[in-house]
Amino acid sequence: MNMQEYIAEAESALLHTYNRYQIVLDRGDGVYLYDMEGRKYLDFVAGIAVFALGYHNKEYNDALKNQIDKLIHTSNYYYNVPAIEAAKKMKKASGMDRVFFTNSGAEAIEGAIKTARKYAYLKDGSTDHEIIALNHSFHGRTMGALAVTGNPKYREAFEPLIGNIRFAEMNDIESIRSQVTDKTCAILMETVQGEGGLIPATEEFLKKVRSLCDEKGILLILDEIQCGMGRTGYMYAWQKYGVKPDIMTSAKALGCGVPVGAFLMTEEVGRNSLVAGDHGTTYGGNPLACAAVEKVLDLFERNHIIENVREVAPYLEARLEELKEKHSCIIERRGTGLMQGLKLDRPVNEIINKALEKGLILINAGADIIRFVPPLVIQKEHVDEMIAILDSCIEK
């Protein structure tokens, strides 16, 4: 079948929950993707901040092939070496103490919520504890993750969701304080809001939230699913400010394409929350997924991925600022590291579609923001190539 025939087959077989772009991707190499007709695309989406190492990385591919030949799945009733090694390396990279592997970021959020509520339950025996989340946040599509997602359009059709969730504003400590009650057990937030518009937490705000949590005995949960794994120039975004959470979620680039997530916690939380029977997963932490995590963490260190982000990100910021100065329709550049956005005075879908026609893959974050989350191995020449295409699309 040709590409259009495959698209027609997909439309008749797959549930229509995505408005997909009209191409069928076939393979990747470095920071480029190719459709099944051989057309080349510069990728500034990376599978939504997933493929940090770029495509067709031989060491990564070989690690997965080797594990497939040994053992793919066992269940969590047994130990397996890749999970043990991956957990050890995650602890080192994050500074956290306990790890639970999941299959996705949404599942990691579910686990983090359960951990916080169990921790609070063991303290006072109550089951009416509250969680403060932030407006404009996004934490996933499952029922618990939706409940803490601060955008009503995602929640409305699926209510009632889990209760006792309050919402406050990003970078507004008084808004947070106004929502705290004697039932508050956790504050949950993205260190950098992704879907909500590429908004980083300020250092002052994050430190004040941490102090408030310490003062009130509240757990701080940081969602690092999109902004973690080196994207901001630090393995995890909170490490820039030294504001350590009690619970943290990770996914996306953690497996660089293999579906895997994790929630991590301090020893204090780990010893006083979930126990055998409280939480589980059939596939989470299986040998194949954890072989991916282990190899990703190895390659991040060996290939100096974070150092590359710190070198290329300022150049990307500067080139985006040049574009902003050139085009009056661009209102603002925002973001940090290789997690950037351009806010326009109009919907961006037409520009993104034009860019795709010219061989550039981009994605939005809301109706009026173009999001840039490329593979973390991009170089300055790739930034220049992207800017040239985007510039021509905006001009038209």
**Whole-number Cα distances in Å, 292 to 173, 227, 309, 317:** 38, 19, 21, 31
State the average pLDDT for the chain.
Answer: 97
pLDDT at site 395: 86
In a domain, 117, yes or no: yes
> Which among 293, 384, 393 has a CA at the least distance from the CA of 350?
393
How close are the terminal C-alpha atoms of the chain, in Å?
34
Convert the pLDDT of each residue in 222-272 to its tens digit: 999 999 999 999 999 999 999 999 999 999 999 999 999 999 999 999 999
Domain boundary residue, one of 302, 331, 352: 302
pLDDT of residue 182: 96
77 token code pair = 């009733």
Q: Is residue 7 part of a domain?
A: yes
Say what the pTM is.
0.96
Pick from 42, 34, 38: which is nearest to 389 by CA?
Answer: 42
pLDDT of residue 396: 74
Whether the per-residue pLDDT at 99 is higher than 80: the answer is yes
Domain co-membership, 145 together with 285: yes
Last residue within a domain, chosen from 259, 274, 302: 302
Alpha-carbon span 38 to 247, nearest angstrom: 44
Six-digit token string for 368: 């009026």
Tell me, yes or no, whether 43 and 21 share the same domain. Answer: yes
**Pair 56, 26: CB distance under 8 Å:** no
Measured from the Cβ of residue 169, the count of other Cβ atoms closer than 10 Å reads 16
Alpha carbon distance 390, 359 (integer Å): 10
Percent of the chain at pLDDT > 90 equals 97
* Structural domain total, the chain: 2
What's residue 217's pLDDT?
97
> If you average pLDDT over residues 44-64, what whole number do you get?
97
Is residue 288 a contact partner of residue 277, using CB atoms and an 8 Å limit?
no
Domain limit, last residue, from 302, 318, 344: 302
The CATH number that applies at residue 326 is 3.90.1150.10
Dist CA 64 CA 259 (whole Å): 13
Q: Per-residue pLDDT tens for 166-214?
A: 999 999 999 999 999 999 999 999 999 998 989 999 999 999 999 999 9
3-state helix, strand, coil in the chain (%, to 5): 45, 20, 40
Task: Looking at the chain, list the stretches that DSSP marks H as alpha helix, in order from N- to C-terminal side.
Answer: 3-13, 46-49, 58-70, 81-94, 105-124, 143-147, 152-155, 173-179, 203-216, 267-271, 287-302, 305-326, 349-357, 380-395
Quote the pLDDT of residue 251. 98
What pLDDT does residue 40 have?
98
Mark 263-296 as b/e (b = at least 16 C-beta within 10 Å): bbbbeebbebbbeeeebebebbbbbbbbbbbbbb
Token code pair at residue 214: 């310490």
Same domain, 39 and 118: no
* Co-location of 139 and 32 in the same domain: no
Over 80: is that where the pLDDT of 344 sits? Answer: yes
**Same domain flag for 363 and 338:** yes
pLDDT of residue 394: 94
Q: Is the pLDDT of residue 381 over 80?
A: yes
Does residue 258 share a domain with residue 157?
Answer: yes
CB-based burial of residue 223 (10 Å sphere; 0-12 exposed, 13-18 middle, 19+ buried)?
buried
What distance in Å separates the CA atoms of residue 381 and residue 393, rounded to the nearest whole number?
19
Each residue of 145-157: pLDDT tens digit? 999 999 999 999 9
Six-digit token pair at 42?
A: 């510069």
Q: Are 116 and 195 contained in the same domain?
A: yes
Does residue 206 belong to any structural domain of this protein?
yes
- How far is Cα 103 from Cα 83, in angstroms, rounded to an integer? 13
Decide if pLDDT at 358 tops 90: yes
- Residue 161 sits in a domain of what CATH number? 3.40.640.10
Per-residue pLDDT reduced to its tens digit, 272-303: 999 999 999 999 999 999 999 999 999 999 99
The answer to whether residues 35 and 108 belong to one domain is no
Are the beta carbons of 250 and 108 closer than 8 angstroms? yes
The residue behind tokens 């592997």 is: 101
Residues 309, 298 share a domain? no
| Calpha distance 237→337 (Å, rounded) | 10
CA pair distance 365, 196, nearest whole angstrom: 7
DSSP-derived 3-state class of residue 100 = strand
Domain of residue 37: give its range.
3-56+304-395
For residues 75 and 327, give the distance between their C-alpha atoms in angstroms, rounded to a whole number. Answer: 54
